[in-house]
Structures are given as structure tokens and as C-alpha cells.
Amino acid sequence: MTPKQAAVCCSPVDDLLNPELFKALCDPTRTRLLGCLIKCGRACSVSEVAECCAVDFSVVSRHLQLLERAGVLEASKVGRVVSYIVNYDRLSETFESLAEAIAQCSPASKSGKKGGCCG
């Protein structure tokens, strides 16, 4: 199949390659903050998360908001304190589904089956 033919073919991989998700994850500071939150395993305030890196509080807040808009984090607010927690289920389901969709598009599997996700 040519790239032109593949472009018009519909596959689950098309919907799973979400530009907003990858945009949110492409920044080293955001990935460091996300890693900190993932390992923490609980909701953390912006000031707690800001302790993970040497970045200004307001910059950390903007990074966390972008991750929330992409569906990676969930935010909650109590008074003036905003806390974020990883959307573990959504994030892991997204990456598991993406991995499966990519594997389905593989030209050939180890079992010898013909691959390709467009027929």
C-alpha cells in the first residue's frame, strides 16, 4: 500500500493519534511534571508539583492546565487551591489502544499472518 492509499483508509490508529495529547506530552517540563504526578499516586496542589522542577509556579500552573485540557490530568479546586491528579484509566487505556492499533497495522506479525490495518 502506498502512503496516499493509506491516507484515505480509515483505521482506529487515526483517532488514537490525537495531536492534542502528543502536543501536551512533547514538552520536557510537562513530561517531568507528569512523571512526578504519576509516581506520587494522589492529587497534588500546584505548589506541591512545582517542587518537582525549577520552574516558576505560574509556568507549572499553565503546564498542568494544558495537560488537563488534553485529558491527561483531572483538576479539582478547594478555595484557592487547585490540585491535579493523573487520569490513570484514560491515559493507560489510550496508550494500550494505540499500541494495539499500531500492532494491527504491522506489515506482518511474528506468527506469519499478513498484517495491515486497511484491509
Greater confidence (4 vs 68) lies with 68
Check pLDDT > 70 for residue 38.
Answer: yes
Q: Does 103 have pLDDT greater than 60?
A: yes
Q: H-helix or E-strand containing 68?
A: helix 57-69
Q: To which H or E segment does residue 44 belong?
A: strand 44-45
Q: Is the pLDDT of residue 108 over 80?
A: no
Residue 49 C-alpha cell reads as 508539583
Phi-psi region of 19 (alpha: psi -120 to 50; beta: other; left: phi over 0): alpha
Residue whose grid cell is 484515505: 8
Cβ 57 vs Cβ 46: under 8 Å: yes
Q: What is the pTM of this model?
A: 0.81
Q: Is 36 in contact with 60 (CB distance < 8 Å)?
A: no
Residue 66 pLDDT > 90, yes or no? yes
How much is the pLDDT for 115?
Answer: 56
Q: What pairs with residue 74 in β-bridges?
A: 85
Does 93 score more than 80 pLDDT? yes
Set out the domains of the chain in order of their start, with CATH numbers.
17-104 (1.10.10.10)
pLDDT-based confidence at residue 8 (cuts at 50, 70, 90):
low
pLDDT for the residue numbered 116: 63
pLDDT exceeding 70 applies to what percent of the chain? 87
pLDDT of residue 13: 83
Rounded-to-integer distance, Cα 59 and Cα 52, Å? 13
pLDDT of 55 over the 70 cut: yes
